[in-house]
Amino acid sequence: MATVEAVSLSGGHTFSKQNAASITLIPGLGVEGDAHNGATVKHRSRVARDPNQPNLRQVHLVHAELHEQLASEGFTVAAGDMGENITTRGLDLPALPTGTRLAIGRAAIVEVTGLRNPCAQLDGFQQGLMAACLDRDDAGNLVRKAGVMGIVLAGGAVAPGDAITVLLPALPHRPLEPV
């Protein structure tokens, strides 16, 4: 069973986010009180390119199993440290197809829009973390492991312990790409 392990937010453009008892998701905007909340893109590098593009990165989700894998490689990463709003357990987020809907808690629904592209800020947090969040598959293709991004379709409170139900899109499934 997939669950929420932690929730985090930051009102400023900080790399890490502070853990909270709960967060509130707002349809079409993201996490209430978070710097990335909005209908248009809020990530500073993307704003510099085109401030009017839609915000496909309203919510950042990371699976707790990634934190455990990173710990086995010598890194110390806790919930919220990589900038995620929702830390999950029991769900292979990067393996989900584009358009997957995650029903979280009593009412919230997040639609997965794509992969988070690991950036150099990871190395600013801990040297070597960016490379640890990238891999190659058997065919030599780049594998991004730094979580997924999504948009809020239905709002509501989300808290640690909440159940997550996966609603897959219609076939054919499209693999996630960086957004």
Is residue 174 assigned to a domain? no
Is residue 178 assigned to a domain? no
Range(s) of the domain holding residue 71: 2-167
Across 20-37, average pLDDT: 98
Across 27-56, average pLDDT: 92
Q: Is the pLDDT of residue 119 over 90?
A: no
Counted domains in the chain: 1
40-47 contacts at long range (C-beta below 8 A, 24 or more positions apart): 44/13
What's the confidence (pLDDT) of residue 5?
Answer: 98
Regarding pTM above 0.85, the answer is yes
* Distance, CA of 155 to chain centre: 16
pLDDT tens digits along 60-101: 999 999 999 999 999 999 999 999 999 999 999 999 999 999
Q: Whose structure tokens read 């800020």?
A: 121
E strands in 50-104: 59-63, 86-89, 101-104
Residue 163 sits in a domain of what CATH number?
Answer: 2.40.33.20
What's the confidence (pLDDT) of residue 46?
Answer: 84
